[in-house]
Homo-oligomer: A and B are copies of this chain.
Amino acid sequence: MPGGLLTDLYELNMAVSYLRRGMTEPATFSLYVRDLPRARGFLVAAGLEACLDFLEGFGFDEDELAYLASIGFEERDLAELRALRFDGEVWAVPEGTVVYAAEPILEVTAPIAVAQLVETSLLNRVTLHTTLATKAARYVLAAQGRDLVDFSFRRTHGTQAAMAVARASAIVGFVATSNVEAARRYGLVATGTMAHSFVEAFPSEEHAFRAFAEDHPDRTTFLVDTYDTLNGVRTAIAVARELGLEERLGVRLDSGDLDHLARETRRLLDAAGLERARIFASGGLDEHEVAELVRAQAPVDAFGIGTQLGVSADAPYVDTVYKLVEYAGRPVMKLSAAKTTAPGRKQVWRRPVGEHADVLGLRDEDGPAGWTPLLEPAMAHGRRTRPDPDIPAIRERFRADLERVPAKARRLQHAERVTVERSAALRDLTAEAREDALDRAGIGGPRASD
């Protein structure tokens, strides 16, 4: 299914008007985050690959057109929609790039009808992936190099979101996911142990551990808190010794005072000569709890991160918009209270070394000498201009960029905004476009019809 109905009805209303009126001039829409959530000092751009997939497949099939006919669209409009493909261009910042408020994540240029029709799905995809990659990055900051694993599938907003979390967390450095389909799709490491129900299904915890170790000798991490955590650790040690699995033993703590239990667990393991056994902690952890455990030097080797990551619980969306900035060569802007937009096709230049300092300007400017332009061509004539980078490449980009996020914006709490400077050319164009918009608004009463 091409998916042309994956849109808001108003996009179709507008597209039909444009098509009827022969308004086929190119429009440029800029997709960016207006303001950062209070709890965020930076964003990790993500979702581009999903957007390009959508654009390459965009169109209407006959069932979709028949539905539109049933709700009042006319045959002459359906004929136009039937022929529509996305044949425009996309400029975008590569996935894994750190961006700040007002910096375009992508810009679309295409005949206005089709550029408008894809708005809803592009916003949806960028919002989802950017929200999740940004949240996952906070865990990476908190974990200070300890392993992180995505455990969020069961509480994400649907299966598609679960796939997005697995990918978004991988691009910022998570080492594995519990989500088997995501591991297959994205080439990630799938990981997992057992649930409490497994322990309960056997006559005793010891029976359960022994059965699991026999069946999965390469995955002998035992969940030890079904009944009593430290007693569970002792059972795990006994079973590991009995089966000669000392070198592969891991234990997972999923409830209680994790700091205390991790220290006691480490003590029991070390006393048994199992210094290499790993301790895995999970149980609804947010990034602040991870940071606190790390700061306290709790002996946790890896964290399983679920719901708080999976829905980005403290900031479940970012304030993305998709704004018309140029139509038929004319820069445009809106003046709505507290929601004004800046006109023109954009570029962002980033200082090449040291903490991030960015300039938001126009695409055709030169920009500060030696600074790096963040937006690159991603699609031309409706086709990708380059292969998608793989996840390790995106992760490398992110790692390098994260190091340069200003310290005040990296903080997990009380992060401060990074101010993005506007270029002189953008400021001038904004002033001009504002005059033009005021004129078009006909402030002072409706103008006579032309």
Which A residues form the contact surface with B (CB < 8 A)? 3, 5-14, 16-18, 20-21, 23, 27, 29, 64, 67-68, 71-72, 112, 116, 119-121, 123-125, 127-128, 131, 151, 153-162, 164, 178-181, 183-184, 190-201, 203-207, 210-212, 215-216, 218-219, 225-229, 231-232, 234-235, 238-239, 242, 254-256, 307, 310-313, 316-317, 320, 322-324, 327, 332-339, 437-438, 440-447, 449-450
Contact = CB atoms under 8 A, between A and B. Distances in A.
A203 B219 CA distance: 67
A65 to B, nearest CB: 11
Contacts of A8: 151, 153-154, 178-180, 192
Contact of A13 (B14, B219, B239): B219
Contact of A123 (B154, B215, B256): B154
Given A200-B440, A231-B444, 16 more contacts: A3-B181, A5-B181, A8-B153, A14-B194, A116-B198, A119-B154, A120-B153, A120-B154, A124-B153, A124-B156, A156-B157, A157-B316, A226-B336, A227-B440, A227-B441, A242-B449
B5 A228 contact: no
A191 B9 CA distance: 6
Nearest to A237: B446
B449 A206 contact: yes
Contacts of A256: 336-338
A441 B226 contact: yes
Contacts of A254: 336
A179 B335 CA distance: 27
Nearest to A313: B316
Contacts of A438: 227
Given A160-B160, A337-B256, A437-B227, A212 B155 contact: no
B20 A215 contact: yes
Contacts of A239: 446
A21 B210 CA distance: 12
Contacts of A445: 231, 234
Contacts of A158: 124-125, 128, 157-158, 160-161, 164
Contacts of A203: 440, 450
B196 A337 contact: no
A334 B212 contact: no
Q: Which of A14, A160, A191, A307 has the most CB of B within 10 A?
A: A14
Contact of A192 (B3, B10, B160, B193): B10
Contacts of A159: 6, 121, 124, 160
Nearest to A337: B256
B195 A228 contact: no
Contact of A449 (B154, B210, B337): B210
A208 to B, nearest CB: 9
Nearest to A196: B334
A120 B195 CA distance: 12
Contact of A23 (B68, B71, B201, B312): B201
B193 A447 contact: no
A255 B337 contact: yes
A351 to B, nearest CB: 32
A158 B200 CA distance: 36
Contact of A334 (B178, B227, B337): B227
Report, nearest first, the 8 A-B pairs whose CB atoms are least far apart.
A227-B441, A9-B192, A10-B192, A157-B157, A197-B324, A158-B160, A123-B154, A8-B178
A112 B201 CA distance: 9
